[in-house]
Amino acid sequence: MGLGEFLFLLTGLKWTVALSAIGFVCGAIGGLAIALMRTSGMRPLERLAAGYIALFQGTPLLMQLFVVYYGLALVGLRLSAWVAVSIGFTLHASAYLGEIWRGSIEAVPRGQTEAASALNLKYVSRMKDVVLPQAIRISLPATVGFLVQLIKGTSLASIVGFTELARAGNIVSNQIFQPLLVFGIVGILYFLMCWPLSLYGSHLERRFAVASR
């Protein structure tokens, strides 16, 4: 494998990172909204959020990407592969992060909200200052775990013609007929992204545990 092929893989890697980042950041915003709806105490909002979570956890990511890419094209909304997979991953991550964070919000002891209410803190401050900082700490291992899943999940974007790391590997492999070498390198690149993240996750977890001891 020459330098040109390797650089092509790195271009794929760049799009994998970009897609993961977009999916995670936009999914975090959507997920926070879903988690807050799900714990709002308002029935219609809770049902809506629960339905959304059920839908996206109950169907394969691959199918979700198909529906966004081909489905929206059918109703006349022609999106580039780039925009389509970004939307798909955002919707997907919103559901999972929403569910992870709902659990974490509910795991914060009730007395915390009560003390905050008794101190006349309103909803926004109760959440922002009291509940969410504790919920984030609780959710950290699961959140980082999901991010790792999301990064690996971006390989599915190749199915709609989006050239990220896995598809770049496929293309190179078809050119130089050394699949084992190429996919070995692709695997190492994925590992180098995911492994430090997992380490970072456990590091944060330990640090928070010390702070709250």
Binding site for other proteins (CB under 8 A): 109, 111-112, 114-122, 125, 129-130, 133-134, 137, 211-213
Distance CA 143, CA 128 (A): 18
Smallest distance, other proteins to C-beta of residue 154, A: 33
- Angstrom distances, CA of residue 60 to CA of 18, 49, 88, 140, 160: 22, 19, 11, 24, 15
Cβ neighbour number for residue 206 with a 10 Å cutoff: 10
Smallest distance, other proteins to C-beta of residue 42, A: 14
CA-closest candidate to residue 91, choices 136, 123, 51, 56: 56
Of 113 and 178, nearer to other proteins (C-beta) is 113
Residue 157 neighbours by CB under 8 Å, 6+ apart: 19, 65, 81, 85, 88, 89, 164, 167
Distance CA 200, CA 124 (A): 29
Smallest distance, other proteins to C-beta of residue 40, A: 16
Find tokens 């999106």 and name the residue.
79
**DSSP code for 9:** H
CA-closest candidate to residue 10, choices 183, 170, 189: 189
Smallest distance, other proteins to C-beta of residue 105, A: 14
Of 59 and 129, nearer to other proteins (C-beta) is 129
Smallest distance, other proteins to C-beta of residue 150, A: 27
Of 112 and 178, nearer to other proteins (C-beta) is 112
Of 91 and 138, nearer to other proteins (C-beta) is 138
Of 120 and 177, nearer to other proteins (C-beta) is 120
Of 75 and 110, nearer to other proteins (C-beta) is 110
Smallest distance, other proteins to C-beta of residue 211, A: 7
